[in-house]
Amino acid sequence: MSPRRMMVIGAHSADFVWRAGGAVAVTTSGGGAACVVALSYGERGESGELWKEPGQTIERVKEIRHGEAERAAAALGAEFQCLDFDDYPLEIDGDALRLISDRIREFAPDVLITHTHTDPFNPDHPIAFTAVSRARSLAAGAGVPSAFATVKPPALFLFEPHQPELCNFTPTTFIDITAVLDRKLAAMAEMKAQQYLQSYYAERAEHRANHARRSSGNPEIRQAEAFQRITPEVVQAL
């Protein structure tokens, strides 16, 4: 199998770290390539610690968040891009949708990962799902030849939200991240504006490892990440 290409598109600059950092590190450590795209920096809704600094500004928060995300992505072996749309509310118009689609075409991922389509506590996450799902279809030509360049339809996965049961998240795929845990921990440590999530997702990796062990019978899995596959998988046999 040729090296895989993985793209993670999140609503905010830190989303990829908590929910797919291990999967990204597995891909890059195996010789594949990974690209992380943030639709916004989360400068208004997810940077509470930064706003405690006297005289803080939007521009400075964005600068700090960019540095954090870039270093986190580097720790995972990935490149980071931010399209710098506004957050809370995240709004995607036609131009923004075309830009997301262009990014997918340019990178041509085998796997595309984004948010769940439901999140009662974060209004930006479902907007990101809808935009990424539509942009994927546009980039792939909606499954048929078209008048613009297209890519092979990437497999679409959803990463695990903070409140999975309330977001209609049902895991269909577990990935063993035991061998790359140190890289995910290093990436999470860069996100100083949301330090409370570091311990939460470290613990979640152990919970999902228990599910992965029971599902696979592999006792060596100590940490795992969970994903929900949206697109059907085409195989030669079951």
> Which pLDDT score is estimated for 46?
84
pLDDT > 70 fraction of the chain, expressed in percent and rounded? 97
Distance CA 73, CA 80 (A): 6
> Which pLDDT score is estimated for 50?
87
Residues 6+ apart with CB under 8 A from 123: 88, 89, 90
**pLDDT at position 1 over 70:** no
**pLDDT at position 229 over 60:** yes
Q: How confident is the model at residue 146 (pLDDT cuts 50, 70, 90)?
A: low
**pLDDT at position 144 over 90:** no
Strand 224-229 to 173-176 pairing: antiparallel
Residues 6+ apart with CB under 8 A from 36: 7, 8, 9, 10, 16, 24, 69, 73, 78, 79, 80, 81
C-beta separation of 180 from 134 below 8 A: no
* pTM to 2 decimal places: 0.95
Q: How confident is the model at residue 68 (pLDDT cuts 50, 70, 90)?
A: very high
